[in-house]
Structure 1
Amino acid sequence: MAKDKEKKPRRPRAETPRGFRDYFGAEVRARAGMLSAITEVYHAHGFDPLETSAVETVEALGKFLPDVDRPNEGVFAWKDEDEDWLALRYDLTAPLARVYAQHRQTLPTPYRRYQVGPVWRNEKPGPGRFRQFYQCDADTVGAASMAADAEICAMLGEALEATGIAPADYVIRVNNRRVLNGVMEAVGVLDPADPEAGAERRGIVLRAIDKLDRLGTEGVAALLGAGRRDESGDFTRGAGLGPDQAALILGVMAAGEGDGAATCARLRELVGSSEAGLRGVTELEQIAELLDSRGSGRVLIDPSVVRGLGYYTGPVYEAELTFEILDEKGQRRRFGSVAGGGRYDDLVNRFTGEAVPATGVSIGVDRLLAALAAHGSAATAEPGPVVVTVMDRDRMADYQAMAAELRAAGIRAEVFLGNGNMGRQLKYADQRGSPVAVIEGGDEKARGVAQLKDLALGARLAAAIETHDDWKAQPAQIEVGRSALVAEVRAMLARARG
């Protein structure tokens, strides 16, 4: 009997996990440039940077995500050796609440911070929907005044404009959770004496309001009532409200069709005698007045803004890009939301038992980058480094010195460290997006010169060239004195930039 062959170890699959993605050079640089523009705005307003751990205790994070059907209620969580449940942060706000509660004796009040970093959500991935994504937040902790909310909204507009978004291409829409609570009281799905009762039904109502842009008034009305069947035949259970109740909520959503003063006046009528609702309307009036005094005309009061996270307690806001793009089906549509936030006065209280007001906003970094690219507002891709080619392997120190000389003059440069003839080296430079290649063989070294190849002009010929002499014959290549190398490379780079 033949001896069984030993099984070879199975090789791991070289693939990105579902719902995650990799970022390469140009994308990383574009993101860094955009974030630099945004955080400069935050810095100018007096906000300080903060970095928090990617891992928090589940207890510290709390349960605020709307996607409760996922394992661990939407977070990536595990139990460590100390029997503590840990999780990857799902946003940057819950960690901020923990930081402020932990260090409140030494932090200034109000504490104004911004933070940039990845967050993780255990959600079902889909087109453009990832389980890891970047956020850029700015928050003020310890200020109860609506001036803090108005400042966040105005600063958000400045940040969008700093990235290249024109004022005419965005709007920041503001609502108040207290107004929504007042409406819930008016239709009988919220009892102030027992706020926990009816939470599931209120969630259905809020999700229905949040779908106004996608489903329209008719679709929202169906979700407020018995439910809605979509085009695929799937049925979504509704909130079970009667016609009069649904009409009141639809009236609130339509109240934002006038200016800020008219919207707030209409909301006062609709919330009736609800104490929470009336306070929410007053806060919206204060925000509108403060923004008007600053000339922040791209901020509108809009009662249809909901925001999904459960920790918001007062004003909520959402930045929407209004220019149109082509979707996957080739149809024109607005780009939509790229940022959102609001007031969360109870989040720090979870740790301290003391009331600590807080408000802030979060920009979806990947989504804003995609918007800038779609709109043609993205920063022009940075060219690659100047590549110093290697003609003689025993002269590597000379080539390294040449690259160091260029870098010392502020020019990005590298030496080719792979194997291959000149054609392969120039193909590498092409892949790097290099604007210039430096060539110095033995003959050039003896004569004290170097060849500079303008790759932008010569790119079309690169595939057919194999020898050093072929490169010298090209019109895109010039010979310069070795002492003039830096000056001539700088001049060539200037011509490439136009």
Structure 2
Amino acid sequence: MSKKSQDQDGPKSGKDLARKPRGFPDRREALIHAQAEMIDKVTSVYRRWGFEALETGAWEYADALGKFLPDDDRPNAGVFSMQDDDEQWISLRYDLTAPLARFAAENWQTLPKPFRRYAAGPVWRNEKPGPGRFREFLQCDADTVGAAGAHADAEMIAMAAEAMRAAGASDGEFAVRVNTRRLLNAVLEGVGANTDGARLTILRALDKLDRLGEDGVADLLGKGRMDESGDFTKGAELGADEVRRVLAFAKAGRETRSATLEALGQAVGTGEEATAGLEELSAIARGLEAFGCPDSDVLFDPSVVRGLEYYTGPVFEAELLKETLDEDGNAVRIGSVGGGGRYDDLVARFTGEKVPATGFSVGISRLATAFAISGELEALNGPVVVLNMDRNDPTEALKLAAELRRAGIRAEAYMGSSGMRPQMKYADRRGSPVAVMVGEDEIAKGVVTIKDLKEGAKKAKAIKSNEEYREARPGQFEAPRADMVARIREIIEMSE
């Protein structure tokens, strides 16, 4: 470790510092379980719609990923890369779609066409982390490779809405917002944005409409904008008329898809690309109607801008709408928790032939974080803890724990060396619904002492003195040893 690192991170103590890299979160059981359950529910939707599972490895050759590669000798901008023993650069996958494109190109002759697959797993991005934005996170994707046409996009969008609801978002708490590359192209051409740099500046400005508002975006479309910190962002240098035209397009969204199409028709004009884009959204609208997808689930939103060097047609973004408060009382809105679109050029990087494709990804880690912030993750029961009443001979505690496990109940015998009170505190920290005690008195009477920890905690709130607590022993009772499993199972079922 350098002296600078030691000065920053603490005094020289001869010990390694317990620290982790930013953007790589530690996850405990409640969040792990919530994410696994979310993946199971979302993939169940994908399977029901006829998609099959595919797993690809975490590492890909860096040139197969393509999107983040810089023009230098170390391809680690945006991705985490290293050289293998053949001195070839390999990178951790940054999404699940680029590996799919590579897989499809390698196996195209033997795959059913179109190829409909889903996948779930971790991905890694070497970028600045922030609230709900990590460098390692879970995604859950579905893609159709080899199907052209708006009906395939409509299917993906409708399925995305169903996946969001399956993941835990209620009616009115989410929306899938849809736009198309063709309408964006029409607007960009109409304002004379003919270079990649100018187009990218305009698109990045549009992407900030929700955060900066109309005035802030107008500044970014014009001369530029200075933020609260004093940092200046150079603008797209559009004239006043062009700024108004871009904003009119971005604000054409209405409460229904049909009303938005009408407003867009007035905003984009009648050029070839504009007409094609409107026809594309109209076809998607008909498909969504066929799928029974309400306007409250899927909106046409011209302000949606995703990575358009990647997408070639419709783009869509799933947004969590509700605002919640964090543990400090600060308002938090997670916003985008998934997205996708049509990417007809991705497989062509390997084959030289255009292969139509469309897909959607749920950001599992981001969505689970949003539910955790809002307090919507269900608290999980920990194991039943059998207290060790005889530190010299824990045999009875071991027997009881084994009996409970044989009955299908999650249970453990306390393995520490502490007394009764610390053992009870341990059970509380584990989130245990029940603690079981068997001492000499219980053995002599053929009973066990069972403490319903959650019910006991509720009743204890009304007790005002230690004497009253010891007398009442809230939530605690004796049961015949033969009834132990049934009584504990009853408590667990009531607490879930």
Q: Does 1:410 align with 2:414?
A: no
User: Aligned partners of 1:328 and 1:401: how far apart in 2?
Assistant: 42
User: Aligned partners of 2:222 and 2:84: how far apart in 1?
Assistant: 45
- Partner SS for 2:432: coil
- Please name the residue that 2:418 is paired with: 420
Which moved further from structure 2: 79-88 or 206-215? Answer: 79-88
- Please name the residue that 1:312 is paired with: 311
Shift of residue 205 of structure 1? 0.8
Provide, for residues 44-69 of structure 1, a one-character-per-residue CA deviation record: whole Å limited to 9, x for no partner: 11222222211111101112589x9x
User: Aligned partners of 1:370 and 1:143: how far apart in 2?
Assistant: 34
- Please name the residue that 1:62 is paired with: 66
User: Aligned partners of 1:259 and 1:495: how far apart in 2?
Assistant: 44
Equivalent of 1:100, from 91, 104, 108?
Answer: 104
- Partner SS for 2:253: helix
The one-letter amino acid paired with 2:475 is A
Q: Does 1:222 align with 2:219?
A: yes
The 3 A distance-change label for structure 1 pair 233 and 65 is farther
Which moved further from structure 2: 73-82 or 254-263? Answer: 254-263
- Please name the residue that 1:189 is paired with: 193
The 3 A distance-change label for structure 1 pair 107 and 405 is farther
- Please name the residue that 1:89 is paired with: 93
The 3 A distance-change label for structure 1 pair 23 and 327 is closer
TM-score by length of structure 1 reads 0.87
- Please name the residue that 2:57 is paired with: 53
- Partner SS for 1:257: coil
User: Aligned partners of 1:21 and 1:99: how far apart in 2?
Assistant: 30
The one-letter amino acid paired with 2:216 is G
- Partner SS for 1:453: strand
- Please name the residue that 1:253 is paired with: 250
Q: Is the 8 A contact 2:450 2:479 kept in 1?
A: yes
User: Aligned partners of 2:333 and 2:13: how far apart in 1?
Assistant: 51
The 3 A distance-change label for structure 1 pair 330 and 436 is closer
Shift of residue 154 of structure 1? 1.2
- Please name the residue that 2:380 is paired with: 382
Provide, for residues 203-241 of structure 1, a one-character-per-residue CA deviation record: whole Å limited to 9, x for no partner: 101001111111122211211122111222211011122
User: Aligned partners of 2:334 and 2:58: how far apart in 1?
Assistant: 30
Provide, for residues 100-122 of structure 1, a one-character-per-residue CA deviation record: whole Å limited to 9, x for no partner: 21222333222222222222111
User: Aligned partners of 1:65 and 1:213: how far apart in 2?
Assistant: 30
User: Aligned partners of 2:409 and 2:255: how far apart in 1?
Assistant: 55
Provide, for residues 430-468 of structure 1, a one-character-per-residue CA deviation record: whole Å limited to 9, x for no partner: 110101111122343343322112222444879xxxxxx
Q: Is the 8 A contact 2:63 2:69 kept in 1?
A: no
Q: Does 1:291 align with 2:288?
A: yes
TM-score by length of structure 2 reads 0.87
- Please name the residue that 2:8 is paired with: none
Q: Is the 8 A contact 2:457 2:474 kept in 1?
A: no
Shift of residue 12 of structure 1? 2.0
Q: Is the 8 A contact 1:335 1:371 kept in 2?
A: yes
User: Aligned partners of 1:279 and 1:65: how far apart in 2?
Assistant: 32
The 3 A distance-change label for structure 1 pair 63 and 494 is closer
- Please name the residue that 1:161 is paired with: 165
- Please name the residue that 2:19 is paired with: 15
The 3 A distance-change label for structure 1 pair 164 and 9 is closer
- Please name the residue that 2:477 is paired with: 478
- Partner SS for 2:417: coil
The 3 A distance-change label for structure 1 pair 103 and 419 is farther
Question: What RMSD, in angstroms, separates the aligned Cα atoms of the two structures?
Answer: 2.8
Shift of residue 168 of structure 1? 1.9
- Partner SS for 2:37: helix
- Please name the residue that 2:354 is paired with: 355
Q: Does 1:204 align with 2:206?
A: no
- Partner SS for 2:371: helix
Shift of residue 76 of structure 1? 1.4
Which moved further from structure 2: 156-165 or 346-355? Answer: 156-165
Q: Is the 8 A contact 1:311 1:347 kept in 2?
A: yes
- Please name the residue that 1:237 is paired with: 234
Shift of residue 382 of structure 1? 1.6
Identical amino acids, percent of aligned pairs? 55
User: Aligned partners of 1:327 and 1:488: how far apart in 2?
Assistant: 38
User: Aligned partners of 1:16 and 1:277: how far apart in 2?
Assistant: 49
- Partner SS for 1:14: coil
The one-letter amino acid paired with 1:25 is E
Aligned residues: 473
The one-letter amino acid paired with 1:244 is D
- Partner SS for 2:77: helix
Shift of residue 399 of structure 1? 3.3
- Partner SS for 1:126: coil
Which moved further from structure 2: 274-283 or 206-215? Answer: 274-283
Q: Is the 8 A contact 1:186 1:274 kept in 2?
A: no
Shift of residue 401 of structure 1? 3.5
The 3 A distance-change label for structure 1 pair 187 and 383 is same
User: Aligned partners of 2:474 and 2:210: how far apart in 1?
Assistant: 57
Which moved further from structure 2: 125-134 or 217-226? Answer: 125-134
Structure 1, unaligned runs of 5 or more: 1-7, 191-197, 463-469
- Please name the residue that 2:432 is paired with: 434
Q: Is the 8 A contact 1:185 1:274 kept in 2?
A: no
- Please name the residue that 1:447 is paired with: 445
Q: Is the 8 A contact 1:65 1:309 kept in 2?
A: no
Structure 2, unaligned runs of 5 or more: 1-11, 462-468
